[in-house]
A and B are shown apart, each in its own frame.
Chain A
Amino acid sequence: MTSQLFVNILLSALSLGVIYFLLSSGFALVFSLLRVSNFSHGSLIMWGAYLGIYLVKALSSFSLGLIISAVMIGIILALVEFFLFRRLYGGNPLFELLLTFGLIYILDEAVKLVWGAAIITVDKPSFLQGTVMIYGEPFAILRLYIFGLGAFVCAGLYFLLNKTKLGLIITAGIENKEMVRALGININRVFTFVCWLGGFLAGIAGFVLAYFNGLSPEMGTNQLLNVLVIVVVGGLGSFMGAAIAAVIMGLAEAFIGFYLPELAVLSSFIVMFIVLSIKPSGLLGEE
């Protein structure tokens, strides 16, 4: 393999990793604070994709479509937290699991009702079309834009979690909820906010994915699987772990896809089984 080709695959792999990070960050965030594994995350991603593309067309503005749809997906999850999750806190976590599982039906079927069951192709806006030359090989501008968005989200999350008071409460809550409560902080409001943020991230991820893969009513379930594999490989509850696992998944998929194209679909499972058999709690998971 020439070094040019290698660099090209590496860049594709990394952009794939960034997409996976965007996909799984919302899930990881919600899980780390609320300890709810939100199985409807994939469906929220799908809603982000459909709604985002719809709004881009309706408002004929790319950035407005992205922001409004992401905010609205966030609101959906915040409402779900406020009206549904709250009824189940402190009980058997099995019911939270089943509840989010039931939401998959509602969200997925609603997408089919609103936009139909057919696969929809998405036209890229003109500024995302075409390629640039990097190291003598063409590289899609869309992928550069994904890098940019990923960096932006990463920086935003870093700033929020490490430099603000709210972030301090969230990280403290991840460590010890009872202590945060005992200090007189209404952590339920923080829960709702974190759910909003998780939905917001799902919305952004769905929007990006739409330009990458187009729209189909199966994308929610397919992405849920990717998300779950990534967070398990990274170690449940570990935000950093999920980010690392996302990049590893991107690398594995791009390189396995290049050498053994038949196995590309299975690449994430292969990685998962290798990691889990070596370190069953995931890369950065607590034992």
Chain B
Amino acid sequence: MSINRYLQKYRSALILIIILILLPLFSSEYIKVVAMQIFIFGVFAISYDILLGYTGIASFGHAIFFGTGAYVSALMMLKAGFSFWATIPFVVVSCAGIGLVIGLLTLRFATIYFTIVTLALGQFCYFLLTNALTYQYTGGDDGLHGLPMVLQTKNQMYYLALAFLLAAFFIAKKIISSPLGKTLVAIRENEFRAKMIGYNVLNYRLIALVISGIMAGLAGSFNAAMLRSVFPGFMGASTTIDVILMTILGGMGSLLGPVAGAALVIICQQYLSSYFEWWLLIFGVIFVLVVLFLPQGLISIVYRFRKKNTSGGLN
């Protein structure tokens, strides 16, 4: 493919990336913070989509990984004096371990078991963090604060978060289009058939869960580094609910969808929640409508529109 064709194909993506790179030059501090939140939750939503959209199993406790990543990083930085980058391997190992344990316990059965157990486990972890017994380590409801700076300036943090999102996006894209990704989709479409062909369904689901868990954990520890504090809410139901909203509204089964969903949900949280007390009710209605009539999410409207335009030109 010549450079020209390549540029044409990814024109809108390139324009978007350039806008995002230039954004800190003319935006306020507040917008930068909101944008960083979107980048980090975008990664979190992509990780969720690998599980929900591509593998077809719903976790209702995905915040377990996000919270684990955040707390592992925070605790090691504060109590053991590790640098942020040195905590990353531990985040990866602990999230992979949690994913393996949950998966081995529940994925052998109907996937609804996995959904319910992750929901319960998420609440369990939340109680554990806010319990009096662990207060001296986790700071209870107050969380942990004053994490050391990873980079010197806000702008550098912004670019780190952007790079994190882009890296996660491309890695996820590689995984999805690899034989592994194709197998996951095959299992999602027809578990029985995949089994008959000879795929070990349990193993593939475990791999998906571990990959998704690691990615969510990394998003959590980047979130901790960016806010320089962690809260038990990272582990709580509200974080899980946020990521489900982002993925479903944006569009599961695509990688852009969850990121767009993250942007939508976070912007609404920041700007709408102060005007409408009942914005969540509207979100609930939209959520139900999307599930019923637009299973590919809001991004599928964009895709449909674009397909109409381009197919006219190509034919």
Contacts and interface: CB of A to CB of B under 8 A. Distances in A.
Interface of A: 37, 39, 84, 87-88, 92-95, 97-99, 101-106, 108-110, 112-113, 221, 225, 228-229, 231-232, 236, 262, 265-266, 269, 272, 276-277, 280-281
A93 B117 CA distance: 17
Contact of A99 (B106, B115, B133, B291): B291
Interface stretch (B39-47, B212-220, B282-290): B282-290
A266 B127 contact: yes
Contacts of A84: 288, 292
Q: How large is the interface on B (under 10, 10 to 19, 20 to 34, 35 or more residues)?
A: 35 or more
B3 interface: no
A96 B119 CA distance: 17
Contacts of B280: 105, 108-109
A103 B284 contact: yes
B292 A37 contact: no
A110 B281 contact: yes
A105 B283 contact: yes
Contact of B132 (A87, A93, A262, A272): A262
Contact of A113 (B278, B285, B287): B278
B56 interface: yes
Q: A-B pairs with the 7 shortest C-beta distances?
A: A105-B284, A109-B281, A102-B287, A106-B284, A102-B288, A269-B124, A228-B116
A62 B107 CA distance: 46
Among B106, B124, B132, B133, the most chain A Cβ lie within 10 Å of the Cβ of B124
Contact of A94 (B56, B131, B237, B287): B56
Interface in B29-60: 52, 56, 58, 60
Contacts of B295: 95
Contacts of B128: 266
Contact of B291 (A37, A98, A228): A98
A281 B116 CA distance: 12
Interface residues of chain A: helix, strand, loop or mixed (majority): helix
Among A92, A102, A104, the most chain B Cβ lie within 10 Å of the Cβ of A102
B58 A94 contact: yes
A92 to B, nearest CB: 7
Contacts of A39: 60
A109 B281 CA distance: 5
19 contacts: A39-B60, A88-B292, A98-B244, A101-B244, A109-B281, A110-B281, A112-B278, A221-B237, A229-B120, A232-B113, A232-B116, A236-B112, A265-B127, A266-B128, A269-B121, A276-B105, A277-B105, A280-B106, A280-B108
A25 B283 CA distance: 30
Contacts of B248: 98, 102
B109 interface: yes
A266 B292 contact: no
A109 B58 CA distance: 23
Contacts, number: 101
B133 A262 contact: yes
A98 B124 contact: no
A113 B280 CA distance: 11
Given A93-B112, A101-B244, A269-B124, A109 B284 contact: yes
Given A93-B112, A232-B117, A262-B131, 12 more contacts: A37-B112, A37-B115, A95-B291, A99-B288, A106-B281, A109-B280, A113-B277, A231-B116, A232-B113, A262-B132, A266-B127, A269-B121
Nearest to B104: A280
B15 interface: no
Interface in B81-117: 105-106, 108-110, 112-113, 115-117
Among A93, A101, A229, A272, the most chain B Cβ lie within 10 Å of the Cβ of A101
B290 to A, nearest CB: 8
B105 A280 contact: yes
Given A276-B117, A280-B109, A266 B124 contact: yes
Nearest to A266: B127
A276 B106 CA distance: 9
A111 to B, nearest CB: 10
Contact of B112 (A97, A98, A109): A97
Contacts of B300: none
Nearest to A117: B277
Contacts of B106: 276, 280
B123 interface: yes
B58 A281 contact: no
Contacts of A236: 110, 112-113
Interface in B66-85: none
A95 B291 CA distance: 6
Nearest to B124: A269
A231 B116 CA distance: 10
Contacts of A105: 280-281, 283-284, 287
Contacts of A280: 105-106, 108-109, 113
A60 B119 CA distance: 39
Among B278, B285, B291, the most chain A Cβ lie within 10 Å of the Cβ of B291
B116 to A, nearest CB: 5
Contacts of B127: 265-266, 269
A220 to B, nearest CB: 12
Nearest to B281: A109
Contacts of B278: 109, 112-113
Among A84, A95, A97, A98, the most chain B Cβ lie within 10 Å of the Cβ of A98
